[in-house]
Amino acid sequence: MAPTLKEILRPAMPPRLELSGITKRFPGVVANDGVGFSVAAGEIHALLGENGAGKSTLVKIIYGVQQADEGELRWNGAPVSIESPRAARRLGIAMVFQHFSLFEAMTVLENIALGMDDPPPQRELEAAVRAVLDTYDLGLDPHRDVFTLSVGERQRIEIVRALLQNPKLLIMDEPTSVLTPQEVEQLFATLRRIAAEGCSILYISHKLGEIQALCESATILRGGKVVATCDPRSETARSMAEMMIGGSLKDVARRDGAPVGPVRLAVDGLSAPGEPPFGTTLKDVGFSVRGGEIFGIAGVAGNGQNELLLALSGERLEEVTGDIRIDETCVCGLGVSARRRRGLAAVPEERNGHAAVPALSLSENAILSARTRKRLAAGGLLRLGAAKAYASGVIEAFSVRATGAAAKARSLSGGNLQKFVMGREILQDPAVLVVSQPTWGVDAGAAGFIRQAMLDLAARGAAIVVISQDLDELFELADRIAVINDGHLSPARPLAEVTVDEIGLLMGGIHGAAPRPATSERAA
């Protein structure tokens, strides 16, 4: 690809940010080992790597959350020491985090003010906010309450808050993980405009197709070291993934056309109140899943996904109405343990604190959900040796990077904890698996491994429900797909009959909520 005029002129200027020999050690691990790269003014630069490769630690050093043990940071050619996020902001570094820091009961304007070091008077702040909204075509009402906003609109709050600092470097951490395809296109248009005005962007994402579409250069980390640099526009998603893992990427093997068995999970007329204080009420949800089938549910976060998983898993019983059957047996009044005994396994969206207890070891976390099916407790006593062996088996089978079964859950990177949680459930060979966001924040190699494990579980006769915001994932896994919007579930359609754009529009609530079936949808 021919260089642009901006790229031709860059060598005459010092890099906006330059790292040299950055090293950061923690007990038992070197998170960053002599890392060096640079980001030019106005450049959109990707930072890629597997889970645990050192990306998060590096970004925390750049943003002043942590300090490097060795190495040097240079800003516009001059050495700098960034002691805190406040110091980073004063320098001109802004960051939009993967998880938004917003108060739902407050307005957009109030949230923006809370995130600023020295907010101006409200009238001046509102004028500045409206100027940014108009300049970058970010449709948002400063006086809207946050709980009324879509996830894409909430992300715009974080972007506006960052842009009000007039940043010279904007760090984006997994910014599209909760956006519809249409919202992703709007975000990219905004980022390209910001970069064209001279702001550098450091972009972190596991979605390699997006890296190709947006970024001009990429630095790839593996094991805390820089192992490659490339121009993503000249690479394929596969070639970048293979640089990240240091080997060949295995293809996910689907079983298209494979026979399915009888219905193993049937849901009819399921309704449940929203999780307080701003949850979404489930309204007459119905679907069924056969053995050997993967049923995909797409939707933007906050449209009833959490309520659906809690109702199916048995964590929420109060005020839940409707019928839930596993292998034709009604489990409506049964709690979590009783449903697990009947073959249900579930993985919630929040892995740290819900799917796993951070302060407990991996073997103790294995006991939490596998004690019955894997006989990790008997006669009122825990079988600690069996729990350790099971946790070790999960670590080995799912290539979890951990020091062993005794490692605390909080010591694992997010992606490695997700691999452990998914492995813990899948290796129990459940009859029904309900999982929310199975590969959220997981690198390409690990995501492929987890998806293959789910396909293999379905091939053994399990019925699987995958609730996900990642349409690439659903189109790779699902046999049929439906959309949840404002607590309603659309009729399911075979994957071959829908497009990504159609599902994206339903996710965004275009033309109103997703169509509500007159009666419960049943498997074709």
E strand segments, 70-224: 70-75, 78-80, 93-96, 169-173, 200-204, 217-222
Note the pLDDT of residue 106. 93
Structure confidence by residue, pLDDT tens digits, 288-338: 999 999 999 998 877 899 899 999 999 999 999 999 999 999 999 999 999
How many whole angstroms separate alpha carbon 362 and alpha carbon 386? 12
Please give the residue that has the higher pLDDT: either 257 or 236: 236
Note the pLDDT of residue 267. 98
Q: What is the pLDDT confidence band of residue 415, given thresholds at 50, 70 and 90?
A: confident
Neighbours of 373 (CB within 10 A): 16
pLDDT of 256 > 70? The answer is: no
Average pLDDT of span 489-503: 91
CA 315 to chain centre: 23
Name which of 244, 205, 204, 237 is nearest 222 in CA terms.
Answer: 244
Q: What is the pLDDT confidence band of residue 255, given thresholds at 50, 70 and 90?
A: low
| pTM recorded for the entire structure | 0.75
Strand pairing category for 225-230 and 381-382: unpaired
Note the pLDDT of residue 514. 36
Torsion, Cα 159 163 167 172, to 10 degrees, reads 10
374 CB-near residues (< 8 Å, 6+ apart) = 366, 386, 390, 428
Average pLDDT of span 246-266: 81
How far is CA 501 from each of CA 36, 258, 387, rounded to the nearest angstrom?
Answer: 39, 27, 45
How far is CA 397 from each of CA 65, 244, 346, 372, 450, rounded to the nearest angstrom?
Answer: 34, 20, 19, 20, 11
Note the pLDDT of residue 4. 62
Note the pLDDT of residue 10. 59
Its CATH class, for the domain covering 252-343+430-524, is alpha beta
The crossing angle, in degrees rounded to 10, of helices 414-426 and 384-397 is 110
Rama region for 179: left / alpha / beta (φ>0; ψ in -120 to 50; rest): beta
Structure confidence by residue, pLDDT tens digits, 370-407: 998 999 998 889 999 999 999 999 999 998 989 999 99
Contact 384, 406 (CB under 8 A): no
How many whole angstroms separate alpha carbon 260 and alpha carbon 256? 11
The DSSP symbol for 516 reads P
How many whole angstroms separate alpha carbon 275 and alpha carbon 303? 11
How far is CA 113 from each of CA 123, 124, 141, 156, 508, rounded to the nearest angstrom?
Answer: 11, 11, 15, 14, 28
Helix ranges (H only) for 35-84 are 55-62
Note the pLDDT of residue 154. 82
How many whole angstroms separate alpha carbon 48 and alpha carbon 41? 20
How many whole angstroms separate alpha carbon 379 and alpha carbon 396? 29
How many whole angstroms separate alpha carbon 273 and alpha carbon 307? 8
Rama region for 379: left / alpha / beta (φ>0; ψ in -120 to 50; rest): left
| Residue that the structure tokens 């339903």 belong to | 506
pLDDT of 23 > 60? The answer is: yes
Average pLDDT of span 135-157: 83
Work out the angle at residue 199's Cα, subtended by the Cα atoms of residues 197 and 200, and round it to the nearest 5 degrees: 135
Average pLDDT of span 52-80: 94
pLDDT of 524 > 50? The answer is: no
Q: Which uninterrupted H or E stretch holds 131? A: helix 122-135
Contact 60, 112 (CB under 8 A): no
pLDDT of 491 > 70? The answer is: yes
Average pLDDT of span 92-96: 92
Give the end-to-end CA distance of the chain in Å, rounded to a whole number.
47
Average pLDDT of span 482-486: 93
Note the pLDDT of residue 515. 36
Contact 29, 403 (CB under 8 A): no
Q: What is the pLDDT confidence band of residue 458, given thresholds at 50, 70 and 90?
A: very high
Kindly list the domain boundaries of the chain, sorted by start residue.
Answer: 252-343+430-524
pLDDT of 362 > 60? The answer is: yes
pLDDT of 272 > 70? The answer is: yes
Structure confidence by residue, pLDDT tens digits, 47-60: 999 877 899 899 99
Which residue type does 290 have?
Answer: R
How many whole angstroms separate alpha carbon 40 and alpha carbon 430? 51
Note the pLDDT of residue 7. 61
Please give the residue that has the higher pLDDT: either 433 or 440: 433
Average pLDDT of span 470-482: 92
Sign of the torsion formed by the C-alpha atoms of 372, 377, 383 and 387: positive
| Average pLDDT taken over every residue of the chain | 89
How many whole angstroms separate alpha carbon 269 and alpha carbon 286? 5
CA 154 to chain centre: 16
Structure confidence by residue, pLDDT tens digits, 178-231: 677 777 888 899 899 999 999 999 999 888 989 999 999 999 999 999 999 999
Residues present in the chain in total: 524
